[in-house]
Amino acid sequence: MDLTLILSKRYKNHTWSIDGNSYAGLEWLSNTTKPSEEELLSHWDSVLAEVEAEAQAKAAQKQALLSRLGITEEEAKLLLGGN
pLDDT digits (tens, 9 = 90+) for 27-46: 999 999 999 999 999 999 99
- Domains held by the chain: number: 1
Measuring CA to CA, how many Å separate 54 from each of 8, 42, 50, 69, 82? 15, 20, 6, 23, 24
Give one word for 20, left, alpha or beta, with left for phi > 0 and alpha for psi -120 to 50: left
Which pLDDT score is estimated for 83?
64
Range of the domain at 19: 3-79
Mean pLDDT, range 18-24, rounded to an integer = 95
